[in-house]
Amino acid sequence: MAVVAAEEDAGAAVAVEDRVGIGWRGMLAASVFANLDRIDLIEIIADDHFDASSKTLRALRTLSDQIPITLHGVTMGLASMFPVDIRRAENMARLVNTLEPESWSEHLAFVRAGGAEIGHLAAPPRTRQSMDATVANIEQVSKIVGTVPQIENIATLIYPPASMLDEATWVSGIVDGSGCRLLLDLHNLHANALNFGDAPEDLLLRFPLHKVSMIHISGGQWAAEPGGDRPPRMRLVDDHLHDPPPIVYSLLTMVAAHATQPLSVILERDGDYPHFGALLNQLDTARLALQQGRDIAAQTSEAA
Amino acid sequence: MSSRALECFLAKLYTDPIALERFFADMDGEARRAGLSEEEIAAVGHIDRAGLRMASASFARKRERYAPSRLHLGELLMRRWFK
């Protein structure tokens, strides 16, 4: 756990405890247990456990007794013009009551409409109306679960049709309206910036960095656009199957340099697993990136 | 310019390859038949076409990857009945 000094508003130096952890996946379970001394927290996909047996829940409870856990939802569909299905919020509430995580999170996405299950996270039109509907959904599920979620920016391969607001304005509006903290996915931000003509660093600085509490890091790969252009135009696909690229660590340093609050970083990996030692090295690289950001902040503060 | 009709329309395009091809063949007509407003019809007329194809293909792969197999579905049902 990296402990660094940051400046409080009043000017007094205080300790900021940043943490680095990994997403819980069945394939990684044994290695995670064997390396708990190098992992500060674990993120568990909530939807995988809504129907879990009491035995599985006991095992997760044992895990949560040993290390802080956070729950991550993927199918609620908060960013929708339709109200969230109450049963999904109740499932989350039950799991939160059972496992007592330190926090839970969901995506700013819609995942179904008109009877069609999209099967993944889709970006809604970024408008005032979708912003208001999302805030209303967050308020509704927060009442059911008992705590507000952290909300995550998503990657999108299509520029959201009929959008009237840019991504940073839309996300900031929802963060302000809901009072939620932001789970900032740096590879999602990076991919959206590159795919839609923005500089990742510029886009990052337009996000409400003072509201970030958790950060996701992951990787992806380039894919050719259909259409047969020569050379083909490429888009970056966020797939969680590749190592985080160097730019993701640079963005992490930027966040740590601009934010004064503690940050918890989660490495997301969904397949094509390297040796676990390589994943531990990625956690160490994230710690170093955080530390570099805190150092920059401290130097800037001293110079001022 | 966000409506439930627009969200349903997009979900259909993301999940139904036939609807997607119908849309590319007659964007204005399909949007109108889906009950979109004039403003929304104009907006989807400028849709990111390459992105739409890539997103639809990506969602299809995700659905395939995470769809329970028949055996798996059977196991799930057994678990529900006997737990």
Per-residue pLDDT of chain A (304 residues; tens, 9 = 90+): 555 544 444 444 445 799 999 999 999 999 999 999 999 999 999 999 999 999 999 999 999 999 999 999 999 999 999 999 999 999 999 999 999 999 999 999 999 999 999 999 999 999 999 999 999 999 999 999 999 999 999 999 999 999 999 999 999 999 999 999 999 999 999 999 999 999 999 999 999 999 999 999 999 999 999 987 778 899 999 999 999 999 999 999 999 999 999 999 999 999 999 999 999 999 999 999 999 999 999 999 888 8
Which of A125, A223, A237 is nearest residue B6 as measured by Cβ atoms?
A125
How confident is the model at residue A229, as a pLDDT? 78
Please state at what angle helix A128-145 crosses helix A167-178, rounded to 10 degrees.
Answer: 40
Q: Quick: pLDDT tens for B48-58.
A: 999 999 999 99
How confident is the model at residue A227, as a pLDDT? 81
Interface of B with A (CB under 8 A): 1-4, 6-12, 14-16, 39-40, 43-44, 47-48, 50-55, 58-60, 62-63, 66, 76, 79-80, 83
**A167: part of which helix (H) or strand (E)?**
helix A167-178
Using pLDDT thresholds of 50, 70 and 90, give the confidence band for residue B70: very low
How confident is the model at residue B67, as a pLDDT? 67
A230: alpha, beta or left, given left = phi > 0 and alpha = psi -120 to 50? Answer: beta
* Domain boundary assignment for chain B: 4-82
How confident is the model at residue A7, as a pLDDT? 44
Distances (CA, A) of B48 to A6, A165, B44, B55, B60: 43, 16, 8, 10, 18
Please state at what angle helix A86-99 crosses helix A128-145, rounded to 10 degrees.
Answer: 50
Q: Which domains does chain A have, with CATH numbers?
A: 1-19+28-40+182-299 (no CATH), 41-180 (3.20.20.150)
Which of A113, A120, A235 is nearest residue B8 as measured by Cβ atoms?
A113
Whether B78 has a pLDDT exceeding 80, the answer reads: no
Using pLDDT thresholds of 50, 70 and 90, give the confidence band for residue B1: low
- Give me the interface pTM, i.e. the ipTM: 0.91
Which of A114, A159, A237 is nearest residue B11 as measured by Cβ atoms?
A114
Q: Taking the model in full, what pTM does it have?
A: 0.92
Chain A contacts of B17, Cβ < 8 Å? Answer: none
How confident is the model at residue A1, as a pLDDT? 56
How confident is the model at residue A230, as a pLDDT? 79
Q: A49, A80, A118, A192: which to substitute to probe chain B, counting the most B Cβ within 10 Å?
A: A118
Chain A contacts of B3, Cβ < 8 Å? Answer: 81, 129
Using pLDDT thresholds of 50, 70 and 90, give the confidence band for residue B74: very low
How confident is the model at residue B61, as a pLDDT? 93
Express as a percent the part of chain B with pLDDT over 90.
73
Could you give phi then psi for residue A117, rounded to 5 degrees? -90, 115
Could you give phi then psi for residue A217, rounded to 5 degrees? -125, 145
Chain A contacts of B55, Cβ < 8 Å? Answer: 122, 156-158
Which of A51, A118, A161 is nearest residue B15 as measured by Cβ atoms?
A118
Whether B71 has a pLDDT exceeding 60, the answer reads: no
DSSP type of residue A148: P
Residue A257 is which amino acid? A
A274: alpha, beta or left, given left = phi > 0 and alpha = psi -120 to 50? Answer: beta
A70 close to A100: Cβ distance less than 8 angstroms: no
Beta strands in A46-139 (DSSP E): 69-72, 103-107, 110-113, 116-122
